[in-house]
Amino acid sequence: MKVLQGIGASPGIAIGRLFFFMGAIHPVDRQLIEDPPAEIERFEVARQASIDSLHQIYERALEEIGPKDSAIFQIHAMLLDDLDYVASVTQIIQEEHVNAEYAVYQTAMRLFDVFSSIDDDYMRQRGADVLDISKRLLRTLTGAKEQNLDEVNGQVIIAADDLMPSETIRLDQSKALAFVTREGSRHSHTAILARTMGIPAVVGLEDAFDCLADRVEVIVDGMTGEVCVEPDAETLERYIARRGQYLAACKRLAKLRDQPSITKDGMRVEITANVGSIGDVEIAVKNGAEGIGLFRSEGLYLGRNEVPTEGEQFVIYREALERMPGKRVIIRTLDLGADKRAPCLGLLREDNPAMGSRAIRYCLSHPALFCTQLRALLRASVYGHLALLIPMVTSLEEVHRTKALIEEIKRDLDNEGIPYANNYEFGVMIETPAAAMISDRLAQEVDFFSVGTNDLTQYTLATDRTNRSLSALYSPRHPAVLGLVRMAVENGRRHGVWTGVCGESATDPDLIPVFLSMGVAELSVAPPAILDVREKVRALDLTKARLDGRTKGF
């Protein structure tokens, strides 16, 4: 037996035999051709067929996993229309008189090398996307069929160098027990899709992947990142027991779906969901969310050639509100920039994008875009309990300018006879040290605070949250971060403003009692984490937790 260590990308334990999915891009023979224009035309036909195929995959994915996670297929279709990509393939065919397959392969590997050399996770992922679209093109040009699990009897564990998003979504989920890959990270598209689909996954095995063989029995632990190859009887028995415990825990947590989130000493806290699509809202409902604590509206903009219209946005916001009757739905206004880029907005590259034109800064400098979203939100407000959330606030002026735009839109809606609700809530995110430091004044302008601990930690500690080499320095438990959170909570409470936490630390078992002891009224987490956090809250006695907190240094 061998135990391989990778990255746990999607929770769960799977036991089964490997099925090698040979999806990697392979070298292509260089063949001389006599008619470059005809070969370029053959490339163009294949390129358009590939784009059409991606549009079909997108429509299927839209139904299965929602708009946020399916947007990658729109991005891939756009990459096949990229002028640099098309020009490179065309130029190689024209100048070297070679076959289209070879030109596509050379272009793919050149661009992949360029993207892979950039020390940025987002840009490295673009390299994987280039390989994905190139593989699709090569299959179309050669007439090769896409691999699938149709001929597999029973369920298997998929092994691949790396599963591209289009390959992942097309796999027969009823036959896929788990994913195991050589490449990849927790933040790759495939990892995200695996979590959305509820399939255990271990990625990033690197050289250890070579220890795997087709049809060999393995155990995949998506929580620890371990892959046990040809497990002995004792190990198999241990993991069967662990899988049973995991499933029993899931079943136990399911009983808390409709239970209140109240500590043993009587403090009530709302446990809500962070979502990015209507599909996520449905998952939140199934997991007993007490509302939506963060609806990331930028998901509507990602992977699009055109900005979503007011009507399109209105339909999404209304549906989110209608699916949460009587419960608060906090919709964050557009938060694009930094590592989140939307082709439809034409965002400029910046040397330091995390501190550049993003979120409320971008919106206020593009008032027409911002007002379109605000109109859609106000129109949808009559269908439920809406709360508007403004991201990346650093000054009172940003709040005043946003409120002025809202009042102007209200006057326009009144003149047009379009209804809107006046009982919506208006809040700001506390995710910069500046916002925390002026929270006493901000509290006089808003109804609630939402603490984004991910960015607050990054900006407070001057530590890039995406830089793996600095991961040891990135800690939401740092006294400086917790001091700023406490400052915001206390300033809010003095003015009757409630505070929620929507960063990843809202699931930290050590920080949950700290936040509640401060007076945090809401914890917003990923939908699958709702019941686990509820169980932790219900087991708390805050009197004891305060004492424990002193000994832990919180």
Tell me which of 96 and 164 has the higher pLDDT.
Answer: 96
Instruction: Find out whether 465 is annotated in a ligand binding site.
Output: yes
**What pLDDT shows up at residue 376?**
97
**For residue 183, what are the domain limits?**
2-23+155-252
Residue 31 lies in a domain: no
**What pLDDT shows up at residue 346?**
55
Largest CA distance in the chain: 83
pLDDT tens digits along 191-207: 766 776 678 999 989 88
Q: Say yes or no to pLDDT of 475 above 50.
A: yes
End position of a domain, from candidates 118, 142, 166? 142
Give the span between the Cα atoms of 219 and 50, in whole angstroms. Answer: 36
- 139 — pLDDT class (breaks 50, 70, 90): confident
Q: Say yes or no to pLDDT of 239 above 70.
A: yes
Q: Do 335 and 213 belong together in one domain?
A: no
Q: Do 333 and 201 belong together in one domain?
A: no
Residue 276 lies in a domain: yes
Give the span between the Cα atoms of 94 and 87, in whole angstroms. Answer: 10
**What pLDDT shows up at residue 93?**
95
CB-CB contact of 186 with 7 (8 Å): yes
Residue 328 lies in a domain: yes
512-516 long-range contacts (CB < 8 A, ≥24 apart) are 512/536, 512/537, 512/540, 513/540, 513/542, 513/545, 513/546, 513/548, 513/549, 514/482, 514/545, 514/549, 514/554, 515/485, 516/263, 516/267, 516/269, 516/540, 516/542, 516/545
- 552 — pLDDT class (breaks 50, 70, 90): low
> What sign results for the dihedral spanned by CA atoms 59, 525, 187, 17?
negative
Give the span between the Cα atoms of 162 and 167, in whole angstroms. Answer: 10
And the tokens for 465? 């949250």
Q: Do 221 and 133 belong together in one domain?
A: no
Instruction: Find out whether 454 is annotated in a ligand binding site.
Output: yes
Q: Do 291 and 326 belong together in one domain?
A: yes
Average pLDDT for the chain: 86
Q: Say yes or no to pLDDT of 394 above 90.
A: yes
* Strands 201-203 and 176-181, bridge-based pairing: parallel
End position of a domain, from candidates 195, 227, 252? 252
End position of a domain, from candidates 91, 109, 142? 142
**What pLDDT shows up at residue 343?**
55
Percent of the chain with pLDDT over 70: 83
**CATH number for the domain harbouring residue 447:** 3.20.20.60
Instruction: Find out whether 243 is annotated in a ligand binding site.
Output: no
Residue 148 lies in a domain: no
Q: Say yes or no to pLDDT of 70 above 70.
A: yes
Q: Do 393 and 440 belong together in one domain?
A: yes
Report the C-alpha dihedral over residues 158, 162, 166, 171, rounded to 10 degrees: 0
Residue 150 lies in a domain: no
> What sign results for the dihedral spanned by CA atoms 178, 184, 189, 191?
positive
Q: Say yes or no to pLDDT of 27 above 70.
A: no
0.75 exceeded by pTM: no
**CATH number for the domain harbouring residue 226:** 3.50.30.10
Number of domains observed in the structure of the chain: 3
And the tokens for 512? 């949950």
Q: Say yes or no to pLDDT of 387 above 60.
A: yes
pLDDT tens digits along 509-539: 999 999 999 999 999 998 888 999 999 999 9
Q: Calculate mean pLDDT across residues 460-477.
A: 77
Radius of gyration over alpha carbons of the chain, in Å? 25
Helix ranges restricted to H, 351-478 = 359-365, 367-380, 396-416, 433-437, 439-442, 453-461
Q: Do 232 and 306 belong together in one domain?
A: no
Instruction: Find out whether 296 is annotated in a ligand binding site.
Output: yes
Instruction: Find out whether 274 is annotated in a ligand binding site.
Output: no
Q: Do 317 and 450 belong together in one domain?
A: yes
Instruction: Find out whether 431 is annotated in a ligand binding site.
Output: yes
Which residues are known catalytic residues? Answer: 189, 502
* Strands 13-20 and 217-221, bridge-based pairing: antiparallel
